[in-house]
Amino acid sequence: MLTIKSQEKREEVTTPVSSRLGVVTLEPTPELSVGIPARPVEVEYALYGDLNLPVTVVLGGISASCQVMKSGQDNAHSRATYTQGWWQPLVGPGKAVDCTRTCVLSFNYVAQHRVKTSVSEVRELSLTPADQAKLLNVLLKTLKLNGRITFVGSSYGGMVGLSFAELYPEAIKQLICISASDRSTHTARAIRAIQKGIFELADLPEQKHQALSLARQLAILFYRTDDVFDAQFIDPLLELPQGKVVGYEQTVYSYLAHQGQKFANSNTIETYAALLDSIDTHAVNASKIECDCSFIAVPSDRLVSYESMRKLAHKVNGQSQFYRLESIYGHDAFLKEFQKLTELLKKILGEYDEPATSYASC
């Protein structure tokens, strides 16, 4: 088992890292796969560390923000409210993605944009993962971040990373893809179809709020595993004839209701549906990916097939490594297994020389 040196832990606290948060208009405006943008594309981004260092792009799932770590300062032009970073345990001085060795870039996904679909027609359409990759390519140029990047993408971010590697092989030197494959499974597509079906039943604002909550609850059921739920909650009992659940607050029902309402309070059906559509469009030609690749797959992941990622590791043209990450957290492993990921990412990024025998399977 690989270990983190105590000196590295001290650096997390004592080493300051500059941060830059803001909104930028992309120039030139990229042509997207869904059409030509009818207005300039604005992207909210976060930069951490010395801009002269090699760039590492870090992207997460569809609900992740551009803030991967806690910022030292806020930009007055930023629209976001910045709190704790969603990958705080993994990004920072001395951490798996070390901001004293690399400049970290992240951005908020653009779910929809008004595009020209013909000479006279303008429509609001969902962007694909390949479109997000095109935005990233122009963002790098707009921010004058030169040189080949390292890309660390989890879930939807992994899809964007695969698309970027296919579209811009000259711009990327290394891809680390966590819980993402070259295309979706039929089960994952079916779950998203059910979610969008729930949206279609909602007309009134309160119905839309509840529909968004229910759709998110359905997703969470497949993010986690039965082992997690069994350890966390009690078995529900019904009090008849009223049908009231005894000990409701200790059941999975209460947890899902809380998570669904929290998500619905800060998101819209339109944005969520657009991102679900985006995932459904995802497909890459792995043979066009030529950079060094590391694939991290979780056997218990019920949304992204472990076997599909193993096959993907053999399809790419670049040098490829495949890692098995055991976890009871399924698709949420990249948000929970911070110690394992720290050890694994440090090995992949070259900070450990020891072989990761606990993870590598081919």
Sequence-separated (6 or more) residues with CB below 8 Å from residue 6? none
The Cα 42–Cα 36 span in angstroms is 14
In the block, which residue shows the tokens 């729930």?
A: 198
**What pairs with residue 152 in β-bridges?**
58, 176
> Which residues belong to the active site?
155, 301, 331
137 contacts 167 by C-beta, under 8 angstroms: yes
Helix (H) or strand (E) holding 274: helix 269-281
In eight-state DSSP terms, residue 234 is: P
In angstroms, the first-to-last Cα distance of the chain is 18
Sequence-separated (6 or more) residues with CB below 8 Å from residue 168? 133, 137
In eight-state DSSP terms, residue 127 is: P
**Positive/negative CA dihedral, 329, 330, 332, 334:** positive
